[in-house]
């Protein structure tokens, strides 16, 4: 089955809309990839927020130094998110910058000390609950590819809290071992990394790669019982989940 992330995100959106809890809330999106126009994800987040009654402000920065100075200043909005990537910042520096976001306003949950569960982790959790409840799929173990990445580390921790046996993989790992796992989540950003032969028959395959996806979709869908496409899979859920966090910000 191909998971329809847009349909599931719309279910959440309608719930938030009917609750009215986001009306009057404000969100600041900081885009620091060197461009002066909205990236696709920033545009989608802005549009989603506006559809929910959120006052969304987007600011552009062409250097990491400009971004750092902005985060040092007082921010009035209820929620803040920094859209990745950050120009000129490696993984370690990116995390240091994200850690300067006020914990109570970090709706994307990427500050290591944030009070919020990262939006992408919430999205993966939604897929797993869907697989368990609606598709009656059963799983006891999971593999995370890209486990040392910013998202991967948080995914591993959350899946372990969900009582799954989790094994960590990264670029350079023996990915043929993935065929042993009930759930495979990949978050490396390397297109076509996961082949169909690497997926167990009946597994749940969750692709967090963007913009092309880590998995060879046409191959993986023949083996997996449930697979998330790119685009239209986890992405829409990730966007709506950050607005769930904004309710509490």
* Ordered structural domains, the chain, with CATH: 20-102 (3.40.50.10860), 119-235 (3.40.50.720)
pLDDT at 13: 97
**pLDDT average, residue stretch 120-142:** 96
Answer yes or no: is pLDDT of 126 > 90: yes
Q: Mean of the per-residue pLDDT values for the chain?
A: 96
**pLDDT average, residue stretch 224-233:** 97
Write the pLDDT tens digit of every residue in 60-108. 999 999 999 999 999 999 999 999 999 999 999 999 999 999 999 999 9
For residues 127 and 153, give the distance between their C-alpha atoms in angstroms, rounded to a whole number: 18
Burial-class residue 76 by CB neighbours within 10 Å (0-12, 13-18, 19+).
exposed
Query: Which tokens hold the place of 201?
Result: 């028959």
pLDDT at 247: 96
Q: pTM here?
A: 0.93
**pLDDT average, residue stretch 216-237:** 97
pLDDT at 100: 96
Burial-class residue 53 by CB neighbours within 10 Å (0-12, 13-18, 19+).
middle
Strands 26-31 and 79-83: parallel
pLDDT at 150: 87
Answer yes or no: is pLDDT of 244 > 90: yes
Query: Which tokens hold the place of 75?
Result: 């921010």
**pLDDT average, residue stretch 165-181:** 96
**pLDDT average, residue stretch 212-236:** 97
pLDDT at 210: 85
pLDDT at 117: 93
Tell me the three state secondary structure of residue 2: strand
Nearest 10 degrees: Cα torsion 102, 152, 85, 13: -70
- % the chain with pLDDT above 90: 97
pLDDT at 211: 84
Instruction: Give the N- to C-terminal CA distance of the chain in Å, as an integer.
Output: 35
For residues 42 and 13, give the distance between their C-alpha atoms in angstroms, rounded to a whole number: 17
Reported as half-sphere exposure (CB side, CA atoms, 13 A), residue 114 has a value of 27
DSSP-assigned letter for residue 204: E
Write the pLDDT tens digit of every residue in 140-161. 999 999 999 889 999 999 999 9
Summary count for the chain: helices (H), strands (E): 8, 8
Write the pLDDT tens digit of every residue in 29-62. 999 999 999 999 999 999 999 999 999 999 999 9
């Amino acid at each position: 089955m191909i998971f329809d992330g847009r349909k599931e995100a719309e279910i959440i959106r309608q719930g938030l809309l009917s609750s009215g809890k986001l009306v009057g809330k404000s969100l600041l999106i900081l885009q620091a990839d060197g461009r002066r126009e909205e990236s696709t994800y920033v545009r989608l987040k802005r549009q989603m927020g506006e559809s929910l009654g959120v006052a969304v402000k987007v600011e552009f920065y062409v250097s990491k130094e400009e971004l750092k100075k902005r985060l040092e200043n007082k921010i009035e909005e209820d929620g803040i998110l920094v859209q990745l990537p950050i120009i000129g910042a490696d993984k370690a520096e990116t995390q240091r910058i994200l850690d300067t976001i006020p914990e109570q306003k970090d709706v994307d949950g990427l500050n290591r000390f944030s009070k919020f569960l990262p939006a992408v982790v919430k999205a993966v959790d939604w897929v797993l609950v869907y697989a368990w409840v609606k598709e009656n799929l059963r799983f006891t173990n999971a593999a995370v590819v890209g486990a040392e990445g910013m998202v991967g580390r948080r995914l591993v921790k959350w899946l372990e809290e969900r009582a799954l046996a989790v094994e960590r993989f990264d670029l350079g790992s023996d990915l043929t071992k993935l065929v042993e796992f009930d759930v495979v989540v990949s978050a490396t950003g390397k297109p076509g990394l996961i082949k169909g032969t690497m997926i167990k028959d009946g597994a749940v395959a969750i692709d967090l790669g963007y913009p092309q996806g880590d998995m060879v979709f046409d191959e993986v869908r023949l083996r997996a019982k449930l697979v998330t496409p790119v685009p239209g899979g986890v992405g829409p859920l990730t966007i709506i989940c950050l607005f769930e966090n904004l309710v509490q910000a």
